[in-house]
Amino acid sequence: MQQEERQEWLGVTAPKGFWAGAAAAGIRDGKAERLDVAILYSEQPAVAAGMFTTNRVRSAAVEATEARIREQRRLQAVVVNSGNANACTGEQGTADVLAIQIQAADLFGLEPGDIGVASTGVIGVPLPMDRLSAGIEEAAKKIRDDGGRAFAEAILTTDTYTKEVVRELTVDGQTVRIGGAAKGSGMIHPNMATMLAFLTTDAEVESEALQEALRHAVDASFHCISVDGDTSTNDTVLLLANGMAGNRPLRPDHPDWDRFVEAVTEAAIHLAKAIARDGEGATRLIETRVEGASTDEEARRVAKAVIGSSLVKTAVYGADPNWGRILCAAGYAGSSFDPQNVDIYIGDIAVCRRGGAVPFDEEAARVVLRGDPVPLRVVIGEGSGKAVAWGCDLTERYIEINAHYRT
Amino acid sequence: MQQEERQEWLGVTAPKGFWAGAAAAGIRDGKAERLDVAILYSEQPAVAAGMFTTNRVRSAAVEATEARIREQRRLQAVVVNSGNANACTGEQGTADVLAIQIQAADLFGLEPGDIGVASTGVIGVPLPMDRLSAGIEEAAKKIRDDGGRAFAEAILTTDTYTKEVVRELTVDGQTVRIGGAAKGSGMIHPNMATMLAFLTTDAEVESEALQEALRHAVDASFHCISVDGDTSTNDTVLLLANGMAGNRPLRPDHPDWDRFVEAVTEAAIHLAKAIARDGEGATRLIETRVEGASTDEEARRVAKAVIGSSLVKTAVYGADPNWGRILCAAGYAGSSFDPQNVDIYIGDIAVCRRGGAVPFDEEAARVVLRGDPVPLRVVIGEGSGKAVAWGCDLTERYIEINAHYRT
């Protein structure tokens, strides 16, 4: 397996048979200044796996797409819009999703049930269906087998850059590719999935196995990031496998299964880290590694508490090696450990040993904290459980962005 | 029962027989510019109840004071310092707490076990025992029966004002008073108790009953506030009852029991709200009322999610009536309800009905959001469970304060 950096911009269209296109429809405010409608299309029907927000309040798009995947585990196209979440929009929201599916199905000669839908943006405002419909028509005309970058651009909201990934491996002597695109920014504290992420592969994968691969990948990636602790109403991760690589069907007893899952997981981690680094107002990525917990699950809980702590995030922003906040966050993570056995490192610099202060070079620690990413390490001394979680610093800019999001 | 506003500054010394004093010892940085050591003393031994942080990482003061209360349910004095949390300070921290107890016991002719200790401030730095010891000696000389304000001042860190309360009621024909002082500011997401709060009463109360009254009061007050989601290492709430009012011992079968518990709860709520309003960088108090949940517990979970949401907090700061964020936070609270039955109000203005948008006067809503407190109401439509939680807005100032706390 090797990363092909030069092809990263192909994103979701890197695997065989996946096409994408986008249009500027002015979804947010009527001004068609940026791409905000995107379509992902597969030449062949694709086995589909999905994970969705656990928020009780869910976008109509989440409800519909989850239902489709549960019923048939198969999709051939996905329509995505940014600028409007289609959440808290009642029966109108549900009807609008169906209208999107019908329109896209007509354009591609498919059934409405073959179309997944995802939305992101402001909550509680009905979709501007006239503009969206025009956008879908235009995006459908523009789909290309190298349209991944346009797709990745169109799904962004307050994100500051596109998030794409391409991975490649060999299965049964065939080259298999995994592509992906995601968006994040605010309201990012994924619980089952992140805001929006789309993964594609031309591997042939059995449907149960595909869902299992996605669950594994999401647990180690989107479930390990936080920007602001707010779990969105629209979190959606989709993984589509169209089988065009020509391998024998992948499933857990296939000799290449583990490598496939690993590649999907790596792709998901790549996107999740990009989301964390591009959190609203963030200036850098915080990577917290926890070792020596009693289990991986306990380690993950601690790692997530550390990257979720407002006080840790502001300390990183201020390049302040205030390790007490790291230990404090570990302490309230709900994991049971003896604080007297905890060591903490900022980069390679030990700043806390056995739960207490040690002399260290503060200026050197500040230099690490000013870098990007910022590596933090918490060694608990209970067992062999380990985990990594990713977050970002918390800055004045987050406040500015969110104090006036709608105005 | 009536509030006597003019006596609020008496705080912890309002009930009979409680004295307090404070000194400026330069605990934080050697500069004795502000009060930072405080002593609370009762003429008679007081029955003591306490609730403490559930953080795995706990201050040596928390460990010692909790142990004393568990063992004997009795204290006669409490020594408090700000500027240093004495957390993550290992065996030195434990030894320092004992030294404080011994010194204070000598000064007052008590046993070390009669002395409670509480600390707040920076984590991971040993207490400057020379300065602290001088401060304890000076504070002991200065204790007065109206020293509540000095006590309330000395326990502050980044708080911007003192937090005191006085309540009065009649029990068995005797006037009973409840006094209190608290500090909050940052690292406020109490789980068992808040940063530091001290309640006193001259009522005679049986020890089990006193702990029960405190638990009830804390659940409805300090457990219902959040500033930044970080549960401190030092959270401590103490309630001391010295019996000098001359009533028959209060316990659940006493006819005035409910009124006593209610008065203690009101006092605790008063302090908790003051902490929330004075959160680091906050400009106003957010009061979120949840009604119609299936149980009070479910209602509390929703109310706490709403006041804990960074996106709700920034929206209030920006006076943006973005109700979708309120509904989103309710949705991830872990409570089960049907979003289609949820109504949301900003002040008296309905901004969301049955989980969807309704037309409302945006400018009027902005006026409410610019007021203090900011009343939010979420009506769930499941049952009769209700709760209130208090938080504050999130501003650039929070970032400034915490990006450079130690520097």
Query: Above pLDDT 90, what percent of chain A?
Result: 62
How much is the mean pLDDT over chain B?
89
Q: Are residues B272 and B293 in the same domain?
A: no
Shortest CA distance to B132 belongs to which of B234, B26, B20, B59?
B26
Domain with residue B131: its CATH number is 3.60.70.12
Q: How many helices, marked H, and strands, marked E, lie in chain B? A: 11, 15
Neighbour-count burial of A168, counting CB atoms closer than 10 A to its CB (0-12 exposed, 13-18 middle, 19+ buried): middle
Domain with residue B307: its CATH number is 3.10.20.340
Which residue in the set A56, A123, A311 is minimally distant from B230, CB to CB?
A: A311
Instruction: Decide if A194 is catalytic.
Output: yes
- Whole-angstrom distance, CA of residue B206 vs CA of residue B203: 10
How much is the mean pLDDT over chain A?
89
Per-residue pLDDT, A21:
97
Query: Above pLDDT 90, what percent of chain B?
Result: 63
Q: Are residues B164 and B297 in the same domain?
A: no
Helix (H, G, I), strand (E, B) or coil at B170: strand
Interval A281-285 mean pLDDT:
92
Q: Are residues A174 and A248 in the same domain?
A: yes
Is residue A190 predicted with pLDDT exceeding 70?
no
User: Per-residue confidence at A188, pLDDT binned at 50, 70, 90?
Assistant: low
Is A320 in contact with B186 (Cβ distance < 8 A)? Answer: no
A60: chain B residues, CB-CB within 8 Å? none
Is B318 in contact with A404 (Cβ distance < 8 A)? Answer: yes
Range of the domain at B94: 2-277
Q: Are residues A376 and A357 in the same domain?
A: yes
Task: Judge contact between A365 and A321, C-beta under 8 A.
Answer: yes
User: Per-residue confidence at A189, pLDDT binned at 50, 70, 90?
Assistant: low
Q: What is the ipTM metric for this complex? A: 0.78
Among residues B277, B306, B321, the one where a domain terminates is B277
Q: Are residues B296 and B262 in the same domain?
A: no
Q: Which pLDDT tens digit goes with each residue over B20-33?
A: 999 999 998 888 88
Q: Are residues A74 and A150 in the same domain?
A: yes
Report the number of distinct structural domains present in chain B: 2
Per-residue pLDDT, A13:
94
Per-residue pLDDT, B157:
82
Q: Which pLDDT tens digit goes with each residue over A314-332?
A: 999 999 999 988 998 998 8
How many angstroms separate the Cα of B192 from the Cα of each of A43, A110, B224? 57, 57, 10
β A236-241/A37-52 pair status: antiparallel
Per-residue pLDDT, A71:
92
Is residue B405 predicted with pLDDT exceeding 70?
no
Per-residue pLDDT, B98:
97
Q: Are residues A160 and A104 in the same domain?
A: yes
Q: Are residues B47 and B98 in the same domain?
A: yes
Pick the residue from chain A with its C-alpha nearest to B369.
A403
B369: chain A residues, CB-CB within 8 Å? none
Distance from CA of B185 to the nearest CA of A (A): 12
Is A55 in contact with B398 (Cβ distance < 8 A)? Answer: no
Q: Give the residue, A255 or A184, on which the prediction is more confident.
A: A255
Helix (H, G, I), strand (E, B) or coil at A268: helix
Q: Are residues A269 and A311 in the same domain?
A: no
Among residues B256, B277, B298, the one where a domain terminates is B277
Q: Are residues B157 and B292 in the same domain?
A: no
Is A328 in contact with B230 (Cβ distance < 8 A)? Answer: yes
Q: Are residues B248 and B357 in the same domain?
A: no
Task: Tell me which of A143-147, A373-377, B335-339 is least confident.
Answer: B335-339
User: Per-residue confidence at B193, pLDDT binned at 50, 70, 90?
Assistant: very low
Pick the residue from chain B with its C-alpha nearest to A227.
B310
Per-residue pLDDT, B31:
87
User: In B221-284, which ranges are E strands?
Assistant: 236-241
Interval B145-151 mean pLDDT:
95
Interval B119-135 mean pLDDT:
93
Query: Above pLDDT 70, what percent of chain A?
Result: 94
How many angstroms separate the Cα of B14 from the Cα of each of A259, B145, B346? 70, 8, 37
Q: Which residues lie across from B49 on neighbouring strands?
A: B239
Q: Are residues B93 and B132 in the same domain?
A: yes
Among residues A245, A260, A277, the one where a domain terminates is A277
Q: Which pLDDT tens digit goes with each residue over B52-97?
A: 887 888 889 999 999 999 999 899 999 999 999 898 888 999 999 9
